[in-house]
């Protein structure tokens, strides 16, 4: 079975500082990996996705993530935080193929706070 663990339920950074949100996954077969963002009172929006084409994935709003198979990780980074990045972030995994019916398994979420 696939699973996702997000390390740190809350992360706080200063504006302009590096953002690092951690995600580790468990999957017995090559996975598809996703990062979603949820702004207050909104649904989830896709930030980026890993599809095995490239290990470093660039997404919207300056975010990127690197797939590291040896570490089973897919950490999300942004070089310089902006106040508008304050939101909750979710990592998700879906195994490729099989009878998964496109089901995504989500991590617990990480709330990012950005201080002026």
Partner 1 sequence: DADVTQTPRNRITKTGKRIMLECSQTKGHDRMYWYRQDPGLGLRLIYYSFDVKDINKGEISDGYSVSRQAQAKFSLSLESAIPNQTALYFCATSDITGTSPTGELFFGEGSRLTVL
The residue ranges that bind partner 1 (CB under 8 A) are: 6, 9, 32, 34, 36, 41-46, 49, 51, 90, 92, 94, 100-109
Nearer to partner 1, 52 or 80 (CB): 52
DSSP reduced 3-state for 93: strand
CB of 105 to partner 1, least distance (A): 8
CB 59 within 8 A of CB 35: yes
Nearer to partner 1, 15 or 88 (CB): 88
CB of 11 to partner 1, least distance (A): 14
Residue 21 to residue 40: CA distance in whole angstroms? 18
Residue 13 to residue 93: CA distance in whole angstroms? 26
Nearer to partner 1, 21 or 92 (CB): 92
Residue 55 to residue 37: CA distance in whole angstroms? 20
CB of 92 to partner 1, least distance (A): 8
CB of 30 to partner 1, least distance (A): 12
Nearer to partner 1, 58 or 103 (CB): 103
Residue 62 to residue 31: CA distance in whole angstroms? 23
- The HSE-up count of residue 14 (CA atoms within 13 Å, CB side) is 2
């Amino acid at each position: 079975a696939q699973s996702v663990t997000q390390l740190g339920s809350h992360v706080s950074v200063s504006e302009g500082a590096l953002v690092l949100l951690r995600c580790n996954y468990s999957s017995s077969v090559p996975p598809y990996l996703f990062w979603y963002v949820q702004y207050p009172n909104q649904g989830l929006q896709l930030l980026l996705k890993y599809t095995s084409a490239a290990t470093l994935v660039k997404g919207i709003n300056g975010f990127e993530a690197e797939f590291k198979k040896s570490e089973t990780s897919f950490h999300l980074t942004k070089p310089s935080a902006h106040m508008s990045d304050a939101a909750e972030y979710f990592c998700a995994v879906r195994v490729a193929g099989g009878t998964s019916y496109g089901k995504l398994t989500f991590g617990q979420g990480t709330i990012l706070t950005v201080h002026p």
